[in-house]
Amino acid sequence: MFIGHFALGFAAKRAAPRLSVAVLLAAAQLADLVWPFLVALGIEQVRIDPGNTAFTPLDFVSYPYSHSLLFLCIWGVVFGVICALIIRSAFSGVVVAALVVSHWVLDWITHRPDMPLYPGGPKVGLGLWNSVAATVAIESLLFAAGVWIYVRSTRARDAIGRRAFAAFIGFILAAYAGAMGPPPPSVNALVAVSIGGATVIMLWAWWFDRHRSPLA
Ligand SMILES: [Zn+2]
């Protein structure tokens, strides 16, 4: 899943208004932020395999540390505690931890059975990706709902808060459409695009969120 993770990050702004939406999006996407680095280091493996499911040309051979339920619970506690200590809000820490674990739940719904419960353990997945139409429909609905909650929970203070935010939504949707295009030419290209894209997305989200005030 891709924009579905963003949906939960956006929606969480209502529950944790003092955290930048960049932090909330990073929590929901933590698994996919860590993953390209582990692939680059050779700790986790991915293969380009057009037709692996209808939606993705990627075969996630092994990703126990970025994508197992056990490790996402661990990363969730670590990231949640760090955020709770920084902004002195235990509840916000719980929100962040839940977002990190939510990544596993959404990926479990979308992936074929390649999502490990724990390293070396059974792999599960409901395979929503076998249908492009169902994937796009469900993710788009989730995304629209998440963005709507964010818009209702914050107010633009200036033009950046409006335009940089709107452009961000356009960029995410374009990236989502791009993910349905031709498969990446190599694993190295995939890693580079993943790390570069994530950096741009997080800085951009940090920027527009600073120009919007929480209403809560
Ligand atoms: Zn993922």
> What is the reported pLDDT for 1?
84
List the pLDDT tens digit at each of the 216 positions of the chain.
Answer: 899 999 999 999 999 999 999 999 999 999 999 999 999 999 999 999 999 999 999 999 999 999 999 999 999 999 999 999 999 999 999 999 999 999 999 999 999 999 999 999 999 999 999 999 999 999 999 999 999 999 999 999 999 999 999 999 999 999 999 988 899 999 999 999 999 999 999 999 999 999 999 996
Distance 192 CA to ligand 1 centre (A): 16
Residues paired with 123 in a beta bridge: 116
With CA atoms as reference, report the closest residue to 122 among 102, 108, 106, 139: 108
Token digits for 86?
């920084």
Exposed, middle or buried, 42 (CB in 10 Å: 0-12/13-18/19+)?
A: exposed
Query: Which pLDDT does position 179 carry in this prediction?
Result: 87
Task: At 56, give phi and psi (nearest 5°).
Answer: -115, 140
pTM of the model: 0.96
Distance 156 CA to ligand 1 centre (A): 30
- What pLDDT does residue 171 have? 97
What is the residue whose two structure tokens read 């335009």? 163
Distance from the alpha carbon of residue 175 to the mean position of ligand 1, in angstroms: 15
**66 alpha carbon – ligand 1 mean position (Å):** 8
* Ligand 1 centroid from CA 3, angstroms: 11
Q: What distance in angstroms lies between residue 177's CA and the mean position of ligand 1's atoms?
A: 17
Distance (angstroms) between ligand 1 centre and the Cα of 148 equals 23
Q: What is the pLDDT of residue 216?
A: 64
Nearest to residue 206, comparing CAs of 153, 165, 146? Answer: 165
**Nearest Cα residue to 191 out of 69, 101, 58:** 58
How far is ligand 1, taken at its centre, from the CA of residue 91, in Å? 25
- Dihedral class, residue 79 (left if φ above 0, else alpha if ψ from -120 to 50, else beta): alpha
